[in-house]
Chains A and B, each alone.
Chain A
């Protein structure tokens, strides 16, 4: 527990850096915000007035202080287009994004890990070649394009999947919110019909994300399994006559997972970015499409809030990865 708190403290400087950068991003644009608020016909005077009311004429340090104070109070500003506080909207939309990203991630891990393991165990086999093709092709996929391709094939041609119009079709109503994850909430409400509808909606976007994310996971799994299978302690395990599954799964895979877990940090960076594009393609009502809508309307506060939220999420995810690493590796546990 103490170790966890220590790790958390270790992430604080990074969080500070994130806050500074997001602050700088708001202030780099000289006067743009004020001009925008004032409207196209505004005089220089009224722009100056608005600048003053927004605190933009204050020294940078004072502006930063106010920014941090507002942040601490959970004030991320107001959205101009919706008139809602940014924080409220982000919180409302976060479960949709999280559900999608996690589904994509688990799908990717579920495919990539066995693929990488098989490729390493049967080096040079068909599966091995498939794994290498997937690893190179996967990182080349523009997610917004593969998403559209999947829609065309599975919705337009085959008709297996519903139209890409968000989390639920028009005939279903959202389950009572408990976790905000429709797949879980519908089950909690014992509403299997809505569960099926929600599942049908999430398959394609999650699949799109998974296609993208599984390449780096499969690649690193294969490489690290190969390295571990050639190591001395695997030779010992074989010399002791341990069974094939024990050697491959209990001895090799658990050791091979360490680099895989580390690479998950990079995968999350990709996934959170790709998430924005996938949300746009599938009209998914998450924080990514919120930010994109705001971007198009030059509504800057939501974009700021979005960037900050994503960065904080990413820092927390990396923290989680760190803890996972410690759970697997006794050296990391006892070393610190």
Chain B
């Protein structure tokens, strides 16, 4: 388990497992995931779609759909184990201590409620405002995320705003109660390139201003490399490698990480390139799931790869889950 020095982490996830009960059988979507995020730090969860990045976020937030169940593990937010927290109490923590923004911001906002009121709803809920000043506070929040003419925009509906504006509103909603941790799930997907940078800059600015930590969920390794201090790579519900960004990019130990890096020639176009890691995700239903879920795609596979596997420190602050890791060049 990786620890960020002696500082108490904001979020410490341990052995988190999630299963979905579907018609086709039980899907073991997450298997003993563990990581930690330090205060003020930006950590990226990277992996292709279906790797379990978003499921991890939803499990931590207590927002899994009805078919999904947490089958084991913990997620400590400070001293609170979110997994063991009853739903009503969790609802009070969400939005107040831990917040989340999503991709496709226009669909993520209530289409028939003015954006100012949506912010005011959150402020009222978490004691950030009273009925008397909620409207003014909402306008302030809009100004803080750089929306011009916030008093007028507060009365606008999502369909009247651009995608970038909507994502700013989402950020305003998320940081309204000054949470310790923000989970940003593909926050730039669906936005044009210039807006992407603006939104990411805004997230960083808000994080620096309030000291909150950020988990950036993305399929885009280039974006993660640019924005995060640590990167955790996920594959098929396993965490395969975790290190600080520079180390991970320079000295990947897991073959999948190496494949991802090799498939990311430039910052642009990485989405298409990511798909060029050969093979697909294994079937996660039933009991016969391989111990290493990457083994089926791996060129470095050994007989030993059938043995049970976990994330282990191969160097200080560099954890890898592989029986035959790449040698570090150093």
Residues of chain A whose beta carbon lies under 8 Å from any beta carbon of chain B: 123, 231-233, 235-244, 246, 250-251, 254-255, 258, 328-331, 334
Q: How far is the CA of A331 from the CA of B160 in the complex (A)?
A: 9
Residue contacts A-B, CB under 8 angstroms, 28 given: A123-B66, A231-B107, A232-B102, A233-B107, A233-B109, A233-B110, A233-B111, A235-B63, A236-B102, A236-B108, A238-B63, A238-B91, A239-B94, A239-B102, A240-B94, A240-B122, A240-B125, A241-B122, A242-B91, A242-B95, A251-B110, A254-B112, A255-B111, A330-B114, A330-B157, A331-B157, A334-B157, A334-B160
State whether the Cβ of B38 lies closer than 8 Å to any Cβ in chain A: no
B103 shortest CB reach to chain A, Å:
9
Is the beta-carbon distance between B111 and A331 smaller than 8 angstroms? yes
- Contact partners of A236 in chain B: CB under 8 A: 102, 108-110, 170, 173
In angstroms, how far is the closest chain B Cβ from the Cβ of A122? 11
Give A242's nearest chain B residue, CB to CB.
B125
Chain B 78-120 interface mask (CB, 8 Å, partner A; 1/0): 0000000000000111111001101010011111111000000
**B 109-152 to A, binary, CB cutoff 8 A, 1 in contact else 0:** 11111100000011001100000000000000000000000000
Q: Please, how many angstroms separate the alpha-carbon atoms of A235 and B160 in the complex? A: 21
Complex alpha-carbon distance, A71 and B310, angstroms: 86
**Contact check: which of B91, B111, B170 meets A241 at CB < 8 Å?**
B91
By the criterion CB–CB under 8 Å, are A240 and B174 in contact? yes
- The smallest beta-carbon distance between A240 and chain B, in angstroms, is 4
- Please, which residues of chain A bring their CB within 8 A of the CB of B107? 231-233
Per the bound structure, the CA–CA distance linking A334 and B104 in Å amounts to 22
Closest to B93 in A: A241
Cα of A246 to Cα of B125 in the assembled complex, Å: 10
Instruction: Answer whether A246 and B92 are a contact pair too, CB < 8 Å, given A232-B108, A233-B111, A241-B126.
Output: no
Whole-angstrom distance between the Cβ of A177 and the nearest chain B Cβ = 41
- Specify which chain A residues have a CB less than 8 angstroms from the CB of B170 in the assembled complex: 236
Bound Cα distance from A334 to B158, whole angstroms: 12
CA A261 to CA B170, docked complex, whole Å: 29
**Contact pattern, B 209-221, Cβ under 8 Å of A = 1, otherwise 0:** 0000000000000
Q: Give the residues in chain B near A243, CB-CB below 8 Å.
A: 91, 125
Residues of B in contact with A (beta carbons under 8 Å apart): 61, 63, 66, 91-96, 99-100, 102, 104, 107-114, 121-122, 125-126, 157, 159-160, 170, 173-174, 176
Tell me the smallest distance from the CB of B78 to a CB of chain A, in Å. Answer: 16
CB contact under 8 A between A235 and B108, given known A240-B95, A240-B174, A241-B92:
yes
| Residue among A231, A238, A254, A258 making CB contact with B94, cutoff 8 Å | A238
Complex CA gap A168/B218 in Å reads: 71
Q: Find B112's partner among A123, A235, A237, A330 (CB 8 Å cutoff).
A: A330
Q: Which chain A positions have C-beta within 8 A of B100?
A: 239
For the complex of A and B, list the 4 residue pairs with the smallest distance between their C-beta atoms, beginning with the closest: A241-B95, A241-B94, A240-B95, A239-B100
How near does chain B come to A254, taking the closest CB pair, in angstroms? 6
Give the CA-CA distance A109 to B193 in the complex, in Å. 48
Majority DSSP secondary structure for residues of A touching B: helix
For B125, the chain A residues whose CB sits under 8 A away are 240-243, 246
A242 and B63: CB pair below 8 A?
no
Residue of chain A at shortest CB distance from B157: A330
Chain A residue at minimal CB-CB distance from B156: A330
Bound CA–CA A258/B108 (angstroms): 18
> Does the CB pair A239–B99 fall under 8 Å?
yes
A335 CB, nearest partner CB in chain B, Å:
9
Query: Do A329 and B112 touch (CB < 8 A)?
Result: yes
Given contacts A329-B112, A331-B111, A334-B160, contact A242 B121 (CB under 8 A): yes
Q: How far is the CB of A259 from chain B (nearest CB, A)?
A: 13
Contacts of A328 in B (CB 8 A): 112
Q: In the assembly, what is the distance between CA of A38 and CA of B153, in Å? A: 73
Residue of B nearest to A236 (CB): B108
Say how far A303's CB is from chain B's closest CB, in angstroms: 43
Compute how far the CA of A325 lies from the CA of B321 in the bound complex, rounded to whole angstroms: 56
Chain A positions within 8 Å of B126 at CB level: 241
Rounded to whole angstroms, the CA-CA distance of A134 and B111 in the bound complex is 31
Starting from the known contacts A232-B104, A239-B99, A330-B114, 16 additional A-B residue pairs (CB-CB under 8 Å) come to A233-B108, A235-B63, A235-B102, A238-B63, A239-B94, A240-B173, A240-B174, A241-B91, A241-B92, A241-B93, A242-B95, A246-B121, A251-B113, A255-B112, A328-B112, A330-B157
How many angstroms between the C-alpha atoms of A255 and B196 in the bound complex? Answer: 29
| Bound complex: CA A235 to CA B66 (Å) | 13
Q: Which of A237, A258, A331, A334 contacts B110 (CB 8 A)?
A: A237
- Rounded to whole angstroms, the CA-CA distance of A254 and B112 in the bound complex is 8
The residue in chain B whose Cβ has the minimal distance to the Cβ of A257 is B112
Tell me the minimal C-beta distance from B279 to chain A in angstroms. 31
Instruction: Write the nearest CB–CB distance from B102 to chain A, whole angstroms.
Output: 6
Docked complex Cα distance between A241 and B87 (Å) = 10
- Which of chain B's residues have a CB closer than 8 A to the CB of A329? 112
Interface-central residue, A237, A254, A331, by most chain B CB under 10 Å:
A237
Closest residue on chain B to residue A246 by CB atoms: B121
